[in-house]
């Protein structure tokens, strides 16, 4: 009994902490570090076998321009994103903050600045929630690999790791999201002492939301490069690259490799339909500047969201996957409202098969203009629509259907009435 009460309490506390996050839907992931200078992604050290002492020289040549973080935060805000997550330390082990745990950090070598502090201040100035990415795997720390084979090395490395996390949770004010990554080479939460680490994190940051990559499930799942719900109805956030190459750190890419505005909106739609979040990555150049392709397209996404945001933000009470069998678009759904994201405008009339539940009203976002309709058991026909797609930003127009009760589209396999 006491156990189930305790469990209910944990769930209540989680719901409270995650309330903003569930409604936020859209965040910016920032991969930025020494590797940005080499312009071949964030795995370059490993993939090219660059020895740590060689790679470490990149610290002395890294000269990020002032206010880089301010520009990301402004862009995120303009794009309709509600939070950011920055790589405070990626697998290369270089810490972007002023840490006592190692001199291999941006304050004591190279830039001579606490880049994490600059980032936190920039987020706050723009009213964005603050997230820290932290890679457990570390290619620089002398015990980073050895810890799997030697208990004394493990002891040192776990102390180092917990020390880093403690600083991040102590020195920058309120932290909204802690985003661990790659818990290698230690195979269990016990070896990382993750339970203890996360308990410390929660003591220091009672409202923080923690992802599932410390070998413990914690608050949310993190599907990568694919937008799909986490198992068991858990909260989830899909993290995705933007430039097609599956590369998170800066690497030049031709314009056609970047996701189009429509593709980004498509990802947002899918995340929304499944009740999840989308964490879209930008890999700034070494100086901190954002590739033009990313910036321009994000601004257009933001413009679209300012008009159509009601289809995206807020609680998704029904996280069903609606069938996407329509030629002309796909759905999101919140309670009694079903939004049809029309990506191939049909002209004056749109027929939708097998809508179950009574439609009470149909209208167009963002104007709220009423749309005439006729509903029979087999089909819903919307009439007198504008001849051309009303959305000039991306050719994605949202038709809002309000149901008497929850609506659904059940296609089945044949024509016959269900």
Residues forming the site for ligand GLC (CB under 6 A): 31, 42-43, 181-182, 224, 239, 248
Shortest distance in whole angstroms from residue 336 CB to ligand GLC: 35
Beta strand 277-282 with 26-30: parallel, antiparallel or unpaired? parallel
* Residues 405 and 356 sit within 8 Å (Cβ to Cβ): no
The terminus-to-terminus CA distance of the chain in angstroms comes to 45
- Distance between CA 322 and CA 330 in Å, rounded? 8
Which one, 43 or 145, has the nearer CB to ligand GLC? 43
Closest distance between ligand GLC and the C-beta of residue 141, in Å?
Answer: 17
Task: Give least dist CB 157 to ligand GLC, A.
Answer: 18
Instruction: Report in angstroms how near the CB of residue 32 gets to ligand GLC at its nearest.
Output: 11
**Smaller CB separation from ligand GLC, 8 or 182:** 182
Encoded tokens for 65: 């321009």
C-beta of 184 vs 319, nearer to ligand GLC: 184
At closest approach, how far in Å is the CB of 150 from ligand GLC? 24
Smaller CB separation from ligand GLC, 138 or 181: 181
Task: Please state the closest distance from residue 131 (CB atom) to ligand GLC, in A.
Answer: 12
CB of 213 or CB of 297, closer to ligand GLC: 213
Nearer to ligand GLC, 42 or 114 (CB): 42
Kindly tell me which of 212 and 391 has the beta carbon lying closer to ligand GLC. 212
Of residues 225 and 378, the one with the C-beta less far from ligand GLC: 225
CB 176 within 8 A of CB 133: no
Q: Smallest distance, Å, CB 173 to ligand GLC?
A: 24
- The minimum distance between CB 91 and ligand GLC, in angstroms, equals 6
Measured from the CB atom, the residue of 41 and 64 that comes closer to ligand GLC is 41
Beta bridge partner(s), residue 221? 236
Nearest to 21 by CA among 128, 158, 161: 128
Q: Least Å distance between CB 221 and ligand GLC?
A: 12
């Amino acid at each position: 009994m006491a156990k189930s009460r305790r469990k209910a309490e944990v769930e209540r506390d989680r719901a409270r902490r995650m309330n903003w996050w569930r409604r936020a839907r859209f965040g910016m992931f920032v991969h930025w570090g020494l590797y940005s200078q080499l312009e071949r992604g964030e795995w370059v050290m490993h993939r090219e076998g660059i020895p740590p002492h060689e790679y470490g020289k990149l610290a002395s040549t890294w000269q990020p321009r002032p206010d880089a973080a301010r520009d990301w935060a402004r862009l995120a805000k303009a794009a309709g994103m509600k939070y950011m997550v920055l790589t405070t330390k990626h697998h290369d082990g270089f810490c972007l903050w002023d840490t006592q745990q190692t001199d291999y950090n941006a304050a004591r070598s190279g830039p001579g600045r606490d880049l994490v502090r600059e980032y936190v201040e920039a987020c706050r100035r723009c009213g964005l929630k603050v997230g820290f990415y932290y890679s457990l795997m570390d290619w620089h720390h002398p015990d980073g690999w050895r810890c799997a084979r030697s208990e004394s090395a493990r002891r040192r490395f776990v102390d180092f790791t917990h020390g880093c996390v403690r600083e991040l949770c102590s020195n920058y004010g309120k932290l909204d999201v802690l985003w661990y990554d790659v818990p290698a080479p230690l195979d269990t939460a016990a070896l990382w002492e993750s339970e203890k680490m996360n308990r410390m994190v929660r003591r220091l940051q009672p409202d923080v939301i923690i992802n599932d990559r410390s070998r413990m499930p914690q608050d949310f799942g993190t599907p990568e490069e694919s937008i799909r719900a986490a198992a068991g109805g858990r909260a989830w956030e899909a993290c995705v690259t933007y430039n097609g190459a599956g590369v998170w750190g800066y690497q030049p890419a031709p314009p056609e490799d970047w996701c189009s505005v429509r593709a980004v909106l498509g990802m947002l739609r899918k995340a929304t339909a499944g009740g999840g979040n989308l964490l879209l990555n930008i890999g700034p150049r070494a100086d901190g500047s954002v590739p033009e392709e990313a910036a321009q397209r994000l601004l257009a996404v933001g413009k679209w969201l300012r008009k159509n945001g009601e289809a995206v933000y807020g609680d998704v009470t029904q996280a069903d996957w609606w069938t996407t069998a329509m030629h002309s678009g796909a759905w999101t759904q919140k309670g009694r409202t079903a939004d049809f994201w029309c990506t191939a405008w049909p002209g004056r009339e749109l027929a939708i098969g097998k809508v179950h539940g009574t439609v009470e009203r149909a209208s167009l976002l963002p104007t709220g203009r009423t749309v005439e309709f006729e509903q029979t058991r087999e089909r819903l026909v919307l009439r007198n629509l504008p001849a051309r797609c009303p959305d000039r930003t991306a050719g994605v127009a949202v038709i809002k259907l309000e149901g008497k009760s929850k609506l659904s589209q059940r296609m089945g396999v044949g024509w016959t009435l269900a």
